[in-house]
Structure 1
Amino acid sequence: MAALFLGLNANAARMDMVDVSNNNGYMSTAEYVSMRNEFGVKAVTVKISEGGTYKDPYAASNIANVQAAGLYINGYHFARYATKAQAIAEADFAGRTAKAAGLPIGAVLATDVESQEANNQSKATNDRNNAAFMKEIQKFGYRADIYTSGSWANNKMTIKGKTGWIAAYPYVPAGKNWYSSNHAWQWSPAAKFRISYGGFDVSQLNDNYYTAGQKSKVKATNKAAVKQQNKAANKGKNATNVKVINKTKRGPHLKNSVANQIYAQQGIFYPNTTLNVRSGAGTTYRKVATYYPGESVQYNQVLIKSDYVWARYRRANGQNGYIALGVNGGTSYGKRIVNQVSGHTYYTVKNGDSWWAIAQRNGLSMTTLASQNGKTIYTTIYPGQRLEVR
């Protein structure tokens, strides 16, 4: 039945589903119509939320415009939970946020499990947490699933057959339908669409799970264009080097899975999610600071250590700090611009911040921090204000 529904082509991976988030910016109905008519896209999965507080600001417009284009619509939540209680709380937050954004009942609301928090848990703990999230999300009328990387599936967590949305990037499928026993296989993080800017995550659907339970007018009106674009998307060679693609859904992706290598590389990294800074290149090292979306860090070395790709940078106190650029062979946590150097690093003031708190996290004294911003420690600072911390 799946083969009949999808019209499977063993020689090329299809662009059945695209996923988008705030990283793609505003997406118009016309862009989604082009994806449908010229590329054969059937479904779009929209980022809804992250952790227990972040709401994707483009979720509502993406949902409305996808539906207006006659495509199936789904959502995903980027998981930060490390306990069962946190998983339930995040599911409640994601469910409420999805309803407010207009995600229709019957759509899939997947949990995206690839964070540092999940990496620190045992397989049994992740299984328990994921099960709690999915059970809770169904109370909102949504269907549940798990998104994760191929290296984490059945390693960091259990992904049973006829479930799961798995990311793995051969770039040239070569006639092999990867993860054909799962609902979906995300096979590229850098697909190009004619009237849309940047690269997009694209997936091949192996059954109708991500198109079930909804009404849609999906119909590709230009079959010749679909065939041509599908063929073009499958051209190329397998990647052999680690490289960041700078424009995708959750963020860019790291192309190849390589273990324990060091690169003498410098550049600037712009995180798109909250990241802990460690005293060494690993999640077991002490947390020494935090970076937030909208900030940047100038790094001087890249290290690949099993599960993550790390950047090393010199902190204001003269010590090295290490920040995860992304999952090794999987999703990146932001945008990396290689060989670009800036003389300054900035911090964006958050609610509840103080001169003392900002100075502590950046290894500075309050006096030094204030003076290099042309202020005194008695000057009031406000959320959204940018302070130079290096």
Structure 2
Amino acid sequence: MMGLATLGAGLFLLAPNVNAAKGDFGVDWAVYQGANGKFGYAKDKFAISQIGGTTNGWSMYDQWTYPSQVQYTIAQGKRAHTYIWWQNVTTNAQADRVLDYFLPKIQTPKGSIVALDIESGYQNTNAIAHALQRIKSAGYTPVVYGYKNYLTNNTDLHYLAKQAQLWLAEYPNYNVTPTPNYNFFPSFENIGIFQFTSTYIAGGLDGDIDLTGITDNGYKKGEADNPKTQTPAVKAGIVADSTSKSDIKAGYTVKINFSAKNYATGQAIPSFVKGQPHEVLQVSGDKVLLADIMSWVKKSDIEILATNKASGNVELKRQTKDKWTDDLGVTWTKEKATFRITKGPLHLRWGASPRSSVISVLGNGSEIKYDAYAKTNGFTYVRQPRSNGQYGYIAVRDSQRNAYGTFK
């Protein structure tokens, strides 16, 4: 989510009663996870994607990544759900305006979760309860998301917990955490989902566990990846999920499975290319050539995400020599140089956004070697290659192009 959990707050030393059949792991996504989303591990069974939201109860914003994230979740045989950013909605009229806008746009199946992300701004318990009832009346499963301290300080959470299941977040630190630490469980009634980390994997990703089986809602019993109803995104995902690997063609979008070990040529597959979308350039027998990594992979080691580049509003754009567009729609220009900070401190982040997780805080005199720059989110960012194959990003100019340092 966009906020950060209050570290160490609300400690509770007893683990909740989690039945094995209900203990599915999953993730939640915003625009930062791109058009395809990003799973952490092969064990993940669900994803909850942000459709958009409001910061004032009257104007709305959409996340362009939402339809394709739903599609790609279904394409991988996993369960897709939805959440709405909910800030400064203090009247029923505002709640109605927000839901009048978003309910017709929901791409997950009827019965699936539609959560209100309540973690910032002014709140009104009655308006939230009104919204939960509207979500339920529309045929979805209402859920309240947030951090226990914020929710108890800004709402009557006991009352809301009687209206809908809760999805609460709490984590002790930002170390990579693939399983829950129940010493930091935010004890409360009617918790359906526990978000136990924002660093499920290196680089950042929210990790969740289903405590009650609520993420099965919207999917046929005994067929967890079979939606009860279909939307355009769900249909596109089902087409991809049901397409045989023997029918893969150039132009399809695929991912390399987490379990894959070696390319078809024998070299080990780096972990950072697994689970990511790759366009198929060529097909040869039981192998495919993937465009961005220019490597041959066995069909048995991949999964189809989309049967063509345009499915579910996804369009993967090829990299050119000096300029390319990433899967967040940001256009980057190649430039190898060094940036030296003179107007610090500045935040080095995992993404090119002021809301992305911070890697480190750098003071004056610090130098960043970068390989590309882009104008996005009101700033000019540069991209720093890192030793683990990932990237760091830092704002080097403001919206008026005033630099925070020097270049060489």
Q: TM-score, normalised by structure 2?
A: 0.48
Q: 1:93 to 1:49 in 2, by over 3 A?
A: same
The 1:168/1:266 distance shift into structure 2, 3 A limit, reads: farther
Alignment of 1:1-390 (within 5 A): 3-6=18-21, 16-27=25-36, 38-51=41-54, 52-84=59-91, 85-98=93-106, 102-115=107-120, 117-118=121-122, 121=123, 126-160=124-158, 161=161, 163-171=165-173, 174-176=181-183, 178-179=185-186, 181=189, 182-192=191-201, 198-215=203-220, 216-217=223-224, 246=350, 251-252=355-356, 294-296=377-379, 342=396, 344-346=397-399, 388=401
Offset of residue 48 of structure 1:
0.6
AA aligned to 1:345 is D
Taking the aligned partners of 2:218 and 2:207, their CA distance within structure 1 comes to 21
Deviation, 1:65, is 1.3
Tell me, in whole angstroms, the C-alpha distance in 2 between the residues paired with 1:87 and 1:163: 19
1:72–1:155 Cα change, 3 Å: same
Cα distance, 1:22 vs. partner? 1.6
Aligned residues: 236
Instruction: Measure the CA separation in 1 of the matches of 2:364 and 2:129.
Output: 41
Asked if 2 retains the 8 angstrom alpha-carbon contact of 1:23 and 1:251, the reply is no
Residue identity (%): 18
Give the conservation status (yes or no) of the 8 Å contact 1:2–1:208. no
Aligned equivalents of 1:136, 1:40: Cα separation in 2:
33
Whole-Å separation in 2 of the counterparts to 1:222 and 1:104 = 27
Contact kept, 8 Å, 1:106 with 1:142, in 2: the verdict is yes
Alpha-carbon distance change, 247 to 19 in structure 1, aligned in 2, over 3 angstroms: farther
Instruction: Give the SS at the match of 1:42.
Output: strand
Query: Deviation of residue 341 (structure 1)?
Result: 6.6
- Deviation of 1:249 (Å): 12
The letter of the residue matching 1:207 is T
Q: CA deviation at 1:199?
A: 2.1
**8 Å contact 2:111–2:218 — kept in the other structure?**
yes
Q: Secondary structure at the match of 2:145?
A: strand
Q: 2:105 and 2:138 mapped to 1: Cα distance?
A: 11
TM-score, with normalisation over the residues of structure 1? 0.50
Deviation for aligned residue 1:179: 3.4
**Structure (1/2) with the larger strand percentage:** 2
- Residue by residue over 1:101-139, the C-alpha shift from the partner in whole angstroms, topping out at 9 and shown as x without a partner, is x22111111010122x32xx5xxxx21121122122223
Q: Which runs of 5+ in 2 are unaligned?
A: 1-15, 227-256, 262-270, 272-346, 366-375, 382-391, 404-408
Q: What amino acid is the match of 2:25?
A: D
Secondary structure, in 3 states, of the residue corresponding to 1:133?
helix
Structure 1 residues 132 and 111, CA gap change in structure 2 (3 angstroms): same
Q: Distance in 2 between matches of 1:143 and 1:6?
A: 20
User: In structure 1, what is the Cα distance between the partners aligned to 2:109 and 2:182?
Assistant: 35
CA distance in 2, matches of 1:129, 1:245: 35
Residue 4 of structure 1: CA displacement? Answer: 3.1
**Aligned partners of 1:90 and 1:133 also within 8 Å:** no
- In the TM superposition, what is the alpha-carbon distance from 1:7 to its structure 2 partner? 6.4
Instruction: Return the alpha-carbon distance in structure 2 between the equivalents of residues 55 and 44 of structure 1.
Output: 18
Structure 1: segments with no counterpart, 5+ residues: 9-14, 230-242, 256-262, 268-292, 299-335, 347-386
Matched-pair contact (CA < 8 Å) for 1:109–1:137 = yes
**How far apart, CA to CA, are the structure 2 residues paired with 1:295 and 1:222?**
36
Residue identity in the other structure for 2:19: L
Conserved? CA contact 2:181–2:196, under 8 Å: no
1:343-367 per-residue CA deviation (whole Å, 9 max, x = no partner) reads x421xxxxxxxxxxxxxxxxxxxxx
SS at match of 2:155: coil
Deviations 1:302-353 (A, max 9, x none): xxxxxxxxxxxxxxxxxxxxxxxxxxxxxxxxxx96xx573x421xxxxxxx
Structure with the largest fraction of helix: 1
Structure 1's 104 and 297: CA in aligned 2 closer, same or farther, altered over 3 A? Answer: same
Distance in 1, Cα, partners of 2:131 & 2:20: 30
Relative to structure 1, is the Cα distance of residues 188 and 158 closer, same or farther in structure 2, using a 3 angstrom cutoff? same
SS at match of 1:76: strand
User: What secondary structure is seen at the aligned counterpart in 2 of 1:82?
Assistant: coil
For 1:94 and 1:250, the matched residues in 2 are separated by 25
1:95 shift after superposition: 0.6
Q: Quote the RMSD (CA, aligned, Å).
A: 4.2
CA–CA separation in structure 2 for the residues paired with 1:244 and 1:89: 37
1:66-108 deviations in Å (ceiling 9; x for gaps)? 112111111000013432211121122121221xxx2211111
Deviations 1:126-183 (A, max 9, x none): 2112112212222322111111113213221233457211111124755537136411
